[in-house]
Every structure is written in C-alpha cells, then in structure tokens.
Structure 1
C-alpha cells in the first residue's frame, strides 16, 4: 500500500514525465553545469571543472538539430498576419532566427570538440565568438518583446481599473452588472499574470545577457558570479518546464 502510494503519487508521475523529455534533461544538466562551474571556482576543484565540461558536452548532444525548432517558429510568426502588434511579431521573428543561428553554430562547436572537423582559428575562435553574439541578439530581441508586453499589460490594467471604478461610481449596488464585473476581474487577472510573466522573463534574459557579455569580454566579472547567474536562469527554466509537464 505504501509502495503504491509512492509509485502513483502525482509528483512522482510528473517527475518521470519531466525526466522523459529532452528539454527537461537538458535544463537539469544546465543547472549541474553551472553548479559545477561555481564549485570549480570556489574550491579550485579539478573534478568540478571536469564535470562542467562533461555536462556542457552532453547538453550539446541533446540540442542537436534544435535550430530547426526556432526556424519553424520564425516561419510561423512571419506567416501569422493576425498579430496586430508588429513590434512583438518582428522581435519574436528576430529572436527565433538568432537563437536558431546560435544553436546551429553551437553544433559546429560540438563537431570541433569531437574532432570531426579541424580545430583552427575559424572553428576555435571565430565560431565560438559568433555563437555568443547570436545568443546575445536573441536575448536582446526577447527583452524587446518583454518590455513591450509589460507596457501593453500595464496600459490594459490601468484601463480596466479605471473602467471598473467609473462603473462603481455611476451605478448603485442594484444596477451593477455582476456578470460584466466578473468578466472584467478575469481580464484584470490575466493582465496581471501577463505582466508578471513578462517581468520574470525580462529578469531571466538580463541574467543570461550578463553571462554572454562576460563570454564576449565586454564585462569582466568573477566566474563565481557568472556561474550563479547560470544557476538562477537554469532554475527558472526548470520551473517553467515543470509547470508545463503533465501529471
């Protein structure tokens, strides 16, 4: 009975489904990669440094051919003429093209590490640098989307609150349309949630931008701080995938 309770527990089922997905395993490996990087700095551990390299390599395998996902998403966004906000639409297209380029170049890095292609100045220096640049372009485009969404959500919240206040002032208690109030409350809740999600993603992208700017040597922060930023964004990614995992 106790065994059945554990085996069929919803959390265990969700964990199994999470680990069964490529994205779930990749996010956990990313967390372990940055934790190992942090330990390698703090304790000067050769084992942690070796584990960091191994986790990084395995993640590259898991992301093989993933650029196709972003290219397809960019194509769908381009074909979708119904999105009235052109800033969000085109920023999302740029974001997906940039992330597709980032992941494609990262596959070249994988082939170089596996010694399938020669390691020279182009594959060993130019390609890794452009990999980080594409990642950065994708993050900037994502930040534009989030800032725009936050602004739109805030305008909607203000408009709904003003409308609700005017309705309460102009009508007495018996004349208030309760169904409309319920509908407005749902819209308000959705706007608050959208603003929260976009703010959270903006912080997430900013932390990743901190990492990539250090990779490009435009910032020169200690490796421990970079690792902690990676840990934070990995946890955010795990949390998002966990919420989307079916029980």
Structure 2
C-alpha cells in the first residue's frame, strides 16, 4: 500500500529517530533561533524578537547538565595517552573543558532568565561575558586541532599518493582532510559570532545571525548523518 510505503520509508524512520533525541531537537531549535534573530534584525519585528528569545530558552533547557558530557569527554582524552598525536589530544582536552565551562555558565544564564537567581552585575554581565570567553577558548582550541588534522592528513596523502596499492587509505586521508577543513570553517564562523558577542568585532546583527544560520546547518547535517535509518 502507498500509506505503508510512506510510513515505513527509511527517510521517515530516520527523521523520527533524528527528532526523537535531544541533539536533533536542539539543532533544529538553534536554526530557528538564528533565523528569528535574522528576521528581527532585518524587519525589527517584535514577534521575531520574541520567538528568538523563546527558542533560546528552550535550547538552554535541552542543554541542562550537558557540561557532564564535555567533562567526561575531557577525562577520556586525558586517560587515552596512546592517541596518535599529542597536540590534537592536548587541545581537544582544552576544548572540552572550555565547553564544559561555557555550558555551566550558560545554566546560570538560564536561572537568571527564569528569575531563580537575581539579576545582578555578576549574573547579568560577568557571567555572560565569561561564558563567551569559554566558548572563545573552545573554538580557538578546536581550530588548532582542525589545522593539525589537516596537516596530518596532508602528510598521509603525500606519502600514499606514490603507492597505487594504498587507494583505500588514500581515500580515507582525503576524507579526513575534508572533514578537518570543514570543521575549521565551522569553528571560524562561530568564532566570528563570539567575537561580536564580546565586542571585539562590531558587525551588524544580521551578519551575526546569518553566521549562526550557517553553522546551525552544519550541525543539523552532522546530526542527521548520525541518526539511525
């Protein structure tokens, strides 16, 4: 039956699995948040601004206790002393610890928005600034890892290109280089956003929102690929 072919289609199954986990919903909300932010910047619509705020709050709820994920990832990286490259290991640890700090401070932002904690100079100004500084640290560390991975992959490509018997390894090296290059662009775009948040750059709000839309699409793509069919 036509209905059965639609209901049991692999793409529908994958969409259900994608939306059934917190990561998929959070990535969708992030895209909607930055789309609303872009519309608010372009049209000055109070509705778009309100939607942006609501999407932001819901995302903070979905990220509740997520710092534990980053702390666990940092601990595993620290324990894994047999990793192939020490530079990648060290900066990945810094990246995960920085993300843990960012997400922890972001929980204070959530409590302030919900009025669980009072709005003071510390909770209203210093905490958001420290959160953005942690995000900045995570992004810079990630970009160092990305560049290192590109360098390592390029070295493998150069070594394997002369050997026709290593086509599978060569193909993997190309994929690794592409993945690291793509992640560098992703991190650099997020870096553009956080530098504007901190006031080091002063681009128009619409450009910052478009950067958020761009990186949200990257995140959606990765989460979609990871979803089970």
TM-score, normalising length: structure 2:
0.99
Give the distance between the partners of 1:84 and 1:232, measured in 2 at CA.
Answer: 32
Q: Does 1:228 align with 2:210?
A: yes
Aligned alpha-carbon RMSD (Å): 0.6
Give the distance between the partners of 2:69 and 2:37, measured in 1 at CA.
Answer: 29
1:85 Cα offset (Å): 1.1
Q: Does 1:30 align with 2:12?
A: no
What does residue 17 of structure 1 align with? 17
What does residue 70 of structure 1 align with? 70
Give the distance between the partners of 2:9 and 2:84, measured in 1 at CA.
Answer: 44
1:162 Cα offset (Å): 2.6
What does residue 104 of structure 2 align with? 104
SS in 2 for 1:221: coil
Q: Does 1:215 align with 2:180?
A: no
1:44 Cα offset (Å): 1.2
SS in 2 for 1:238: helix
Give the distance between the partners of 1:80 and 1:58, measured in 2 at CA.
Answer: 35
Give the distance between the partners of 1:102 and 1:115, measured in 2 at CA.
Answer: 20
1:146 Cα offset (Å): 0.5
- Listed as ranges, the gaps of 5+ residues in structure 2 are none
Aligned runs of 1:1-247 on 2, under 5 Å?
A: 1-164=1-164, 181=165, 184-247=166-229
Give the distance between the partners of 1:114 and 1:205, measured in 2 at CA.
Answer: 30
SS in 1 for 2:161: helix
Larger radius of gyration: 1
Instruction: Show CA shifts across 1:204-232 (max 9, x none).
Output: 00000000000000000011110000000
1:163 Cα offset (Å): 3.6
SS in 2 for 1:162: coil
* Number of residue pairs matched by the alignment: 229
1:102 Cα offset (Å): 0.2
Give the distance between the partners of 2:163 and 2:84, measured in 1 at CA.
Answer: 23
